[in-house]
Amino acid sequence: MKTEKDRITSCDCNLIHKETVEYVAGKMPSEEDLYDLAELFKVFGDTTRIKILCALVEAEMCVCDIAALLNMTQSSISHQLRILKQARLVRYRRDGKVVYYSIDDEHVKQIFDQGLIHLKER
Amino acid sequence: MKTEKDRITSCDCNLIHKETVEYVAGKMPSEEDLYDLAELFKVFGDTTRIKILCALVEAEMCVCDIAALLNMTQSSISHQLRILKQARLVRYRRDGKVVYYSIDDEHVKQIFDQGLIHLKER
DNA sequence: ATAACATATGTACACTTGTTCATATGTACA
DNA sequence: TGTACATATGAACAAGTGTACATATGTTAT
């Protein structure tokens, strides 16, 4: 006869608040949503990308502008813009040789502001 | 006589929207804030930590509960809780042998919700 | 067509990170 | 004091990541 404890294999502890675990298990977002959420925050979790996004919140800019602003290689900025593009956080438009990037999501600023509020409250 | 272009050394492009760059430079948050913000999102940028936080939003839980819920090692959960603790995202209280963790910041849920909204809008 | 220039991309490398295993710490109870 | 148990931590390793260099692509103008 199998008990609940038998089924939960990877916890080597004996004390489990079974009801709490089951309650929370029922409340959790889907595995896919949790994965996607982590992927999104992973994109935010780099200083260069944060800077790029903060800059684009203020103005539309070309790759060269951003590289100059952040004092970084055109190549690295371009690589990071690719990641931001894939995450649908920025969009671009081409004007001759120049490619202009801008923010593609109004929530970016709100998410950043919430993050800054957390930091300010120590 | 030095020009603006001379001072910006790491951009090998010739076209720079000087005014835009200077305007945005004046609007950017401090280097420290940007760094801290990236560090915060780096903490969110892992599936295990996201899951732990989502779980703790629902209920206070002990390490063992979380390990059972996520079907993971007690050790790895403990390591991740340490990171969350350092980021002031969770707090803990000891009751005998058991250590109970809970959310230490009301903004966590709001930040997650904003993230999920971004994902839902494709 | 060719040169000049803005941007994109492939590759390589140093560095970071999450997990596991082994073990230490801390608490309760006999 | 000794045992059992919940949690914390150190070390090691595989896997992932950001940057720079070299080069390709795409656009304009001569």
**Cα radius of gyration rounded to whole Å, chain A:** 21
- Residue B20 approaches strand C within 7 Å at CB: no
Closest chain B residue by Cα to residue A29:
B54
Residue A11 pLDDT level (bands cut at 50, 70, 90): low
Residue B121 pLDDT = 83
Instruction: Give B67-99 pLDDT, tens digit per residue.
Output: 999 999 999 999 999 999 999 999 999 999 999
B10: left (phi over 0), alpha (psi -120 to 50) or beta: alpha
SS3 call for A61: strand
How confident is the prediction along chain B (122 residues), in pLDDT tens digits per residue? 333 333 344 456 666 799 999 999 999 999 999 999 999 999 999 999 999 999 999 999 999 999 999 999 999 999 999 999 999 999 999 999 999 999 998 889 999 999 999 899 86
Q: Which two tokens stand for residue B24?
A: 């945005």
Put simply, the answer to whether B28 touches A55 (Cβ < 8 Å) is yes
Residue pLDDT, tens place only, A61-106: 999 999 999 999 999 999 999 999 999 999 999 999 999 999 998 8
DSSP notation for B47-63: HHHHHHHHHHHH--EEH
* B82 Cα to chain A: minimum distance (Å): 17
Q: Which two tokens stand for residue B85?
A: 């603790």
Q: Give chain A's domains with CATH numbers.
A: 30-120 (1.10.10.10)
Give the β-pairing of A98-103 and B98-103: unpaired
pLDDT digits (tens, 9 = 90+) for A31-51: 999 999 999 999 999 999 999
Q: What are residue A85's phi and psi, to 5 degrees?
A: -65, -45
Q: Indicate the SS3 state at residue B94.
A: strand
Question: Which of B4, B9, B11, B52 to probe by mutation at the A interface, max A CB count within 10 Å?
Answer: B11
Which of B41, B19, B86, B112 minimizes the C-alpha distance to A53?
A: B41
What sign results for the dihedral spanned by CA atoms A115, A108, B114, A38? negative
Q: Which of B15, B39, B72 sits opposite A98 (nearest CB)?
A: B15
Mean pLDDT of chain A: 89
Q: Spell out a b/e string for B99-120, using b for 16 or more CB atoms within 10 Å of the CB, else e.
A: ebbebbbebbeebbebbbebbe
